[in-house]
Chains A and B, each alone.
Chain A
């Protein structure tokens, strides 16, 4: 506890020093408390993890869309959807409408009834014609038996990790081969040298250092997905990250905790930490 004199007639500068000291100590205490008690909540079962519900903007339309990441994740890199097509990383932030799908943007970039993937034609999203009514495949809340892919069946042969599928290992063992380039949509720019992996030094001594793999992240995301929107600062050590911000959905939490490996999997980033926390 701070020690200060209560005697009257104390000089004003001493007052302010005591106040600043007290504020500083309270801030540190607060930070400690937050770091200890603010842990990520338990994630949903792996089959439901990464599920996004888009609220339909149309009042007369077919209702909200359910999008499960796991199927697209097995087939495409993050970059293709979040950079080339341009989906935002928060539900309802992209502004997808039936019109934009019709125009060949957003979902309509692939779901146009013409593109072929794995020998099959990709069904058209927001189609006009009555023949190929595939609305329910996405606008599936309240409907049953319309979703064609089941998580357990689809991922039965995928290597498993601490939580659900070990996507990294699945790619390394060629169980999945995510596509990184779509004809007519993706464009290659001049290549930038892949950044090196580095260690993020924590501010508090009890926090295990974070081994950040830049290389792995750029294979799936390229540079533009993270820079400069999610990570604008270029100089290391200038931005202060915290679990608090990650859990809020910022910085690492833009992906981790929503779609990529959950924040509860401590060891993924803090190699010497416990394997799981909630």
Chain B
């Protein structure tokens, strides 16, 4: 009898899952300088130091996505890489460039009081730390975009206002140039919504192949994977980038752009 009661209650609870979900609420739109902010706290708080705040926008203007996410090896989700101070001090991950020569030293082996200021350049969560780069000055000359950072990164690169590096000496493997990938369209499946034009060419210029395949896009045959906006808004497929770092999903027309 008890088992039956538990079974009934369990089934009732299972039916009630929908109201417990977080759909149907308008989320806060991050400010242009906040967009792409990643907070990393695998070990910082345990080591009694403020968690790391990483702003994408400054690195994005200097490097392609591939350099960090393929060549250096950062994961695509906060905390998933497992960066430690030791890794940085040995010249990996952040320490690949933040080695005191290419850029300021990250995670020195021995820290003194003077070093704390450098530590706080990254370990700044909850602290009021003046940034070395001013977002307003940085973004002022760049072409504007509606959402995200408010910067049209694509156009900025076309106009050569930013020149993201594609190769890191001693880190990146010397590759042959990638053959131009064809763009293709995806059926929107919703009446009245323009079809999606996916620019494979643009994406491969910044990401290469291995950033997306097969981790983010597993399907090998076009038309076999079923993408939905719900999945994408939860960070799957396109949502791996286009929720937190690349232009957000509110910019519908950027993808749904096939002339009707």
Contact = CB atoms under 8 A, between A and B. Distances in A.
Interface of A: 15-16, 19-20, 22-23, 26-27, 30, 82-84, 86-90, 93-95, 100, 103, 105, 187, 189-193, 195-196, 223-225, 227-235, 239-240, 244-245, 248-251, 253-254
Nearest to B22: A250
A234 B257 contact: no
A224 B148 CA distance: 13
A19 B8 contact: yes
Contact of B24 (A82, A190, A191, A250): A250
A190 B25 contact: no
B24 A251 contact: yes
A19 B229 contact: no
Given A19-B7, A83-B250, A189 B146 contact: yes
Interface string B4-24: 100110011001001100011
Given A16-B7, A187-B144, 7 more contacts: A27-B12, A86-B30, A90-B25, A103-B136, A192-B194, A192-B253, A233-B228
A88 B8 contact: no
B46 interface: no
B31 A190 contact: no
A193 B24 contact: no
Contacts of A249: 25
Most chain A CB inside 10 Å of its own CB: which residue of B11, B18, B145: B11
A59 to B, nearest CB: 15
A94 B11 CA distance: 37
A227 B50 CA distance: 36
Contact of A19 (B4, B15, B31, B136): B4
A36 to B, nearest CB: 17
Given A83-B250, A223-B252, A228-B250, A234 B193 contact: yes
Interface of B: 4, 7-8, 11-12, 15, 18-19, 23-31, 136, 144-147, 188-190, 192-194, 228-230, 232-233, 249-254, 256-257, 260
B194 to A, nearest CB: 7
21 contacts: A19-B7, A19-B8, A23-B15, A30-B12, A86-B29, A88-B28, A90-B26, A94-B28, A187-B145, A190-B253, A193-B194, A223-B252, A225-B26, A228-B233, A229-B27, A229-B250, A234-B188, A235-B190, A248-B19, A250-B23, A250-B24
B192 A88 contact: no
Given A228-B229, A232-B229, A232-B233, A192 B26 contact: no
The 4 tightest CB contacts between A and B, nearest first, are A250-B24, A86-B29, A89-B26, A23-B11
Contacts of B8: 19, 22-23, 26
Nearest to A198: B191
Nearest to A190: B253
Nearest to B15: A27
A71 B23 CA distance: 30
A36 B230 CA distance: 30
